[in-house]
Amino acid sequence: MINININIIIIIIIIIIIIIIIIIIIIIIIIIIIIIIIIIIIIIVIVIVIVIVIVIVIIIIIIIIITEGY
């Protein structure tokens, strides 16, 4: 009887440990996904800003060339 109880306790402990490990892994995966999404958003924003700046500079250069031509 005592042996059966010990086995049940060991099984419960193992199950709890497995559940905790799974939860930790899920949390780590979620954190990694969030970090990746943030990095992608930052890269997109940087690219958009660079493109806007380049377009503005090109427009200014064109305006200068046109005004200098006349």
DSSP 13-67: HHHHHHHHHHHHHHHHHHHHHHHHHHHHHHHHHHHHHHHHHHHHHHHHHHHHHHH
The pair phi, psi for residue 28, each rounded to 5°, is -60, -45
Q: What tokens does 48 get?
A: 């958009």
Expressed as residue numbers, the domain containing 31 is 1-69
Q: What is the pLDDT of residue 59?
A: 96
Q: Scanning the structure block, which residue is given the tokens 């970090």?
A: 35
Domain count, the chain: 1
Q: Which two tokens stand for residue 20?
A: 């905790």
Per-residue tens of pLDDT for the chain, all 70 residues: 566 778 888 999 999 999 999 999 999 999 999 999 999 999 999 999 999 999 999 999 999 988 887 6
